[in-house]
Structure 1
Amino acid sequence: MRAETASPDDEIKTSFKHRLKAWWNGVDVAGDNANEESFDDLSEEEKIVIKDGPPSVNGWSLSRQRSVVTLFGEGMTRCIPDDTKGKLTKPLCINKALSVSELGSGLGGFTRWVSSEYDAYVTGYEADEALRDSAAVMTKDAGLHRKVKFLHCDFNNLDPKPRSADVVYASEALFTVKDKAACFAAIFKMLKPAGQFMMSDYMLEGIEPTAPELKPWQDAEPIPANPIDVEETRRLLTEVGFEISIAENVTAEYKSNVLKSFADYATRTGNGEKSGHLHEWILNEGELWMRRIKMMDAGNLKVFRIYARKPFDIK
């Protein structure tokens, strides 16, 4: 019998697995003898990190904010490389004449990218006030505060201004929402006639939301996860009035992007990049993401990209 060859993704997973074990054992990670320094010798940023308390993925302390940026890039709280940003937004034909909104803007990295890439005015809606405040500061520092703004909202009680946006997009922002129908109805109301909605999110396919296989992951999420079946998502969007033309399974691409991000970080630290006191925070973040990947590997969780349009008004 011919032996199977390992795929590039398998190599990435194997590399990450070994490096993660090394991180846990304190091998070849910080590379900066941070433990030998006195508190007074540390930078102000490092002092803040220490004062943030034990590493955690609950809430968005400054330390956690800095750890995810270290992993995923400027202003990013989750793994959305630039090519993925393009796949989500290029079909929307964004330009400076359109009103654009992002749901789940986090630290504003994707929001600022859209504004710069398409010369557009963008509003980011964020449920966490600490992230919203940090995003506003980062946007001002980048000189984009005249074109990018951030608003606090509760996605479980979303109540945007009616007909305030031509385009709404969201990436991994709505899987925690309990009442998806109400949320989709609010987004529909938010859009102008012929407005467009693009979402990428964790969804199910062929497995019930109450399945016991999902419970360990759901219980471990910082905010309780409430994913639904992709067909149920399509049905709810259609019922509130959307026309759907794309429902694409992008799980393989998503997994690859996440694994590459962590493999890249492992390589950088192995080559001497200093993570300092963020080390343990990044380990906790790694556990969170690897639980998600494990669910995907088992086929219990998937990522779908859905494109929907609000019809023109018919007089």
Structure 2
Amino acid sequence: MSLMDVAVDLQQSFWNRWNAESRERSRGDISLRQAEVVRSWLDRIGRRDLTILEVGCGAGWFCEELSRYGATTGTDLSDEVLARQARRLPHVRFVPGDFMRLDFEPQHYHVIVCLEVLSHVADQAAFMEKIASLLRPGGQLLMATQNKPVLRDHCANIAPPAPGQLRKWVDAQELAELASPHFVVEELFSVSPVAHKWPRRLLTSYKVNHLLRPVLGDALRDFMEARGWGWTLMLRARRPELDAAARPG
């Protein structure tokens, strides 16, 4: 067994355990906000016959919602967790394994969804390239990933990576640079403001926002998200259409 195989096995063990202990049981506000944004993007497409692939679907919880928009496939290293989800959601196709080694049909998907996976990938450039290869011309990548400046500078209680957990956060510019060789970036913004250090801690406090929401609605949240204070970076990117000279026939 190669060192790469050992590394993948270690990652698989970690994510099986993490998803079983976390995502199979509940979803936090950050995950729910990511899902809300992705649903708004899918609603904007306005179709219910899409081909959708969720890369790094974890416990598969979001695949059930994605399946309302079309034929959905979910893939993740967490083979044990996906086996349980496959029994619960027989209308969703689940493919366990290392995404970079799995074979999916090229240029097949209208939409690829990827929530908080990029930072756990060893070769992020190759990862983006493979995603692009699976999208139809004009297809869309809907991605959420951790916002490096916020997690690095304003969150004090993040544990170091566990064995089998890769971690390489990116900032907005780095994310745009990873996407730009293969995609046209349509939207890139932050969501879910969070901070454990003062003074941002006061503004991002759940209690403060809960108290002010009846008066301000989501204005305070939107203000912070617009300034890049969100835990999550949300990316909507489009694979370019083939130009006339490149089209077959």
**Match in the other structure for 1:168:** 112
Verify the 8 A CA contact 2:120 2:168 in the aligned structure 1. yes
Q: Give the deviation of 1:232 after TM superposition.
A: 1.3
1:210-289 equivalent positions in 2, closer than 5 A: 217-220=159-162, 223-239=165-181, 241-252=182-193
Identify if the C-alpha distance between structure 1 residues 206 and 121 changes in structure 2 by more than 3 Å, giving closer, same or farther. closer
Paired residues in the alignment total 200
Identify if the C-alpha distance between structure 1 residues 68 and 108 changes in structure 2 by more than 3 Å, giving closer, same or farther. closer
Verify the 8 A CA contact 1:104 1:124 in the aligned structure 2. yes
Superposed CA RMSD: 3.7
Structure with more of its chain in strand, by fraction:
2
Q: Give the deviation of 1:84 after TM superposition.
A: 4.1
Segments of 5+ residues of structure 2 without an aligned counterpart are 1-12, 207-227, 245-249
Verify the 8 A CA contact 2:193 2:229 in the aligned structure 1. no
Note the alpha carbon deviations across 1:173-222, whole angstroms, 9 max, x for none: 221001111000001100001000010111324999xx9x99x7443475
CA distance in 2, matches of 1:137, 1:227: 34
Segments of 5+ residues of structure 1 without an aligned counterpart are 1-56, 261-298
**Match in the other structure for 1:312:** 241
**Match in the other structure for 2:31:** 80
CA distance in 2, matches of 1:244, 1:132: 31
Verify the 8 A CA contact 1:203 1:229 in the aligned structure 2. yes
Secondary structure in 2 aligned to 1:193? strand
1:1-315 equivalent positions in 2, closer than 5 A: 58-61=14-17, 65=20, 68-72=23-27, 80-81=31-32, 84-92=34-42, 93=45, 95-116=47-68, 118=69, 120-140=70-90, 145=91, 148-157=92-101, 159-205=103-149, 217-220=159-162, 223-239=165-181, 241-252=182-193, 302-315=231-244
| Bigger radius of gyration | 1
Note the alpha carbon deviations across 1:248-295, whole angstroms, 9 max, x for none: 111417999xx98xxxxxxxxxxxxxxxxxxxxxxxxxxxxxxxxxxx
Identify if the C-alpha distance between structure 1 residues 167 and 300 changes in structure 2 by more than 3 Å, giving closer, same or farther. closer
**Match in the other structure for 1:287:** none
Secondary structure in 2 aligned to 1:71? coil
CA distance in 1, matches of 2:19, 2:122: 25
Secondary structure in 1 aligned to 2:31? coil
CA distance in 2, matches of 1:66, 1:206: 25
CA distance in 2, matches of 1:301, 1:253: 6
- Normalising by structure 2, what TM-score? 0.67
CA distance in 2, matches of 1:159, 1:254: 40
Q: Relative contact order, CA 8 A, sep 6+: which one is greater? A: 1
CA distance in 1, matches of 2:127, 2:95: 17
